[in-house]
């Protein structure tokens, strides 16, 4: 039997089509215009020149957009989707203090933590957050005892011209795998967002907004489930907008190259004692190349850059070969720069072999032959303050680790292994987990029963990028006493004087 509600809705639609009649939804109780501004994943404080030769991004251009929207005098919510304390060259020195200083100058109305907020550990995260003069949200983030963190809230309610707008924010729930939050607890993004949406509506919200640092798949699930009306997201680094007629997901790329603005017309009508909401969005994707930098913030950036430059523009060596750290290289194939860094790890720790994940190499830059390598270059490439730790593991476990690193090819992912002391031949056409055809370590065929000494990053030793075998391996060096990778690389290059390692056939796709 046809459901009565569906039948009545269908009949009303048919009558409306034929006669122009519309069912009465009561009198308008409230209506408003609301502007939402979103930034996310902004690491570099100054602008950057992209492929078209135009400078984009940075805090000064973002500040201009925010100040202009607020100056219009309407209702504005400026949301920050997280990932900003790291990685950047200066963050390697001040652990993100300059980022908080600049963000305080433009004061988001809501900030949520991405995984990179925890790159320097729990204590630094809490210290940086205590320095923030803007509202912090973390509905799914708790301390070791399950209590909310200081100065963090789960949700809030705002009233604009009689329209009640509910706001909630969530941290990235995979941060323990991606970063170093230590004993902080993260609940499911999907479950908590749905629960917060229900609570906001129970509290009388006419319209709901979720600000999330989350995987795209989770955002799509939440859109399908109508968890909140708007989902403002960070994490995937793409310029994204999807309106399905009822809900919106959007994201603003990264580094402030683009800023997403949603202009919303919201009306609330009362019918039989119930409030019903209708709204319509207009989206603006602002290309920051067309934005004049805010002079106040630009001046602050210049001061910070000057302090940084004086410490960083010191050469540590030269390179006789081209070094390429672009994502499409270090995340898909053997790279000379990956070989260099992995060699530094293996040689300084006297290990049989070494592995660094391609995602740990970050600058996206080409260093031409016969060019200088400076401290600034190394910190730009290795901004996470990763340490080098040594583990012992069987050849069987080592092979499984490398299989994990190859498992997502041909997709470019951070888990791709850059190695030293090993040679691996593999086929991408074979199923994940069974792609290695031939493998040798320390100049001899892999012995699956032999125990090898392997130098890796502390991130991988925690099982980051799904390297579970590394997490289960026996630790030889404790994290607290482990050296910084950036320091080891700089010292290694200084000893070499000139870098000559190129692509040598360490990772070969056949």
User: What was the pLDDT predicted at 134?
Assistant: 98
Residue 11 belongs to a domain = no
87 preceded by a cis bond (ω within 30 of 0): yes
Indicate whether 138 and 287 sit together in one domain.
yes
| Residue range 235-262, pLDDT digits in tens | 988 999 999 999 999 999 999 999 999 9
Query: In the listed set 278, 303, 328, which residue is the last one of a domain according to the structure?
Result: 303
CATH of the domain at 222: 3.60.21.10
Indicate whether 257 and 329 sit together in one domain.
no
Mean pLDDT of 49-59: 92
CATH of the domain at 419: 3.90.780.10
- What distance in Å separates the CA atoms of residue 126 and residue 109, rounded to the nearest whole number? 19
Indicate whether 372 and 230 sit together in one domain.
no
SS (H, E, C) 20-47: CCCCCCCEEEEEEEEEEEEECCCCCCCC
| Residue range 420-429, pLDDT digits in tens | 999 999 999 9
Residue 476 belongs to a domain = yes
Indicate whether 299 and 351 sit together in one domain.
no
Q: Which domain holds residue 271?
A: 25-303
Across 232-268, b (16+ Cβ under 10 Å) vs e yields bbbbbbebbeeeeeebbbbbbbbbbbbbbbbebebbb
Query: Scanning the structure block, which residue is given the tokens 């970063």?
Result: 179
Residue 124 belongs to a domain = yes
Are 122 and 181 contacting, i.e. CB atoms less than 8 angstroms apart?
A: yes
| Residue range 458-485, pLDDT digits in tens | 999 999 999 999 999 999 876 766 778 9
Q: What is the pTM of this model?
A: 0.72
287 — alpha (psi -120 to 50), left (phi > 0) or beta? beta
User: What was the pLDDT predicted at 426?
Assistant: 98
| Residue range 406-422, pLDDT digits in tens | 999 999 999 999 999 99
Tokens found for residue 236: 């995937």
What is the β-pairing status of strands 27-39 and 258-271?
A: antiparallel
């Amino acid at each position: 039997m046809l459901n009565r509600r569906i039948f009545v809705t269908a009949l009303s639609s048919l009558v409306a089509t034929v006669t122009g009649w519309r069912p009465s939804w009561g009198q308008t109780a409230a209506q408003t215009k609301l502007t939402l501004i979103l930034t996310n994943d902004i690491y570099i404080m100054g602008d950057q020149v992209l492929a078209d030769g135009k400078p984009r991004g940075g805090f000064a251009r973002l500040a201009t957009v925010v100040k202009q929207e607020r100056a219009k005098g309407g209702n504005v919510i400026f949301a920050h989707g997280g990932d900003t304390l790291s990685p950047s060259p200066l963050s390697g020195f001040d652990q993100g203090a300059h980022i908080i200083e600049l963000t305080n100058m433009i004061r988001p109305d809501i900030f949520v933590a991405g995984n990179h907020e925890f790159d320097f550990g729990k204590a630094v995260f809490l210290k940086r957050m205590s320095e923030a003069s803007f509202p912090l949200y973390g509905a799914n983030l708790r301390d070791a005892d399950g209590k909310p963190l200081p100065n963090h809230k789960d949700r809030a309610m705002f009233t604009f011209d009689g329209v009640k707008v509910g706001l909630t924010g969530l941290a990235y729930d995979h941060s323990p795998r991606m970063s170093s939050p230590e004993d902080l607890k993260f609940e499911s993004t999907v479950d908590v967002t749905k629960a917060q949406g229900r609570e906001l509506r129970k509290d009388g919200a006419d319209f709901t907004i979720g600000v999330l640092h989350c995987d795209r798949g989770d955002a799509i699930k939440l859109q399908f489930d109508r968890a909140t009306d708007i989902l403002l997201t960070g994490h995937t680094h793409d310029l994204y907008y999807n309106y399905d007629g009822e809900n919106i997901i959007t994201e603003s790329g990264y580094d402030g190259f683009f800023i997403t603005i949603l202009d919303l017309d919201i009306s609330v009508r009362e019918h039989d004692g119930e409030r019903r909401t209708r709204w319509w969005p207009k989206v603006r994707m602002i290309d920051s190349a067309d934005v004049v930098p805010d002079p106040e913030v630009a001046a602050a950036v210049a001061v910070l850059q000057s302090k940084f430059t004086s410490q960083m523009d010191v050469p540590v060596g030269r390179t006789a070969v081209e070094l390429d750290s672009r994502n499409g290289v270090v995340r898909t194939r053997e790279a000379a720069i990956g070989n260099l860094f992995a060699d530094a790890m293996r040689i300084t720790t006297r290990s049989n072999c070494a592995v660094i994940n391609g995602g740990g190499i970050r600058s996206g830059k080409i260093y031409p032959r016969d060019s200088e390598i400076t401290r600034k270059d190394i910190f730009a490439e290795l901004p996470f303050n990763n340490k080098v730790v040594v583990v012992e593991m069987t050849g069987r476990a080592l092979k499984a680790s490398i299989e994990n690193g190859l498992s997502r090819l041909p997709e470019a992912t951070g888990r791709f292994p850059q190695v030293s002391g090993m040679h691996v031949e593999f086929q991408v056409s074979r199923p994940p987990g069974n792609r290695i055809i031939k493998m040798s370590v320390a100049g001899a065929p892999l012995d699956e029963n032999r125990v090898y000494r392997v130098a890796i990053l502390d991130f991988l030793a925690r099982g980051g990028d799904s390297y579970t075998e590394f997490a289960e391996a026996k630790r030889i060096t404790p994290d607290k006493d482990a050296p910084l990778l950036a320091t080891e690389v700089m010292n290694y290059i200084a000893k070499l004087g000139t870098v000559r390692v190129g692509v040598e056939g360490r990772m070969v796709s056949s």
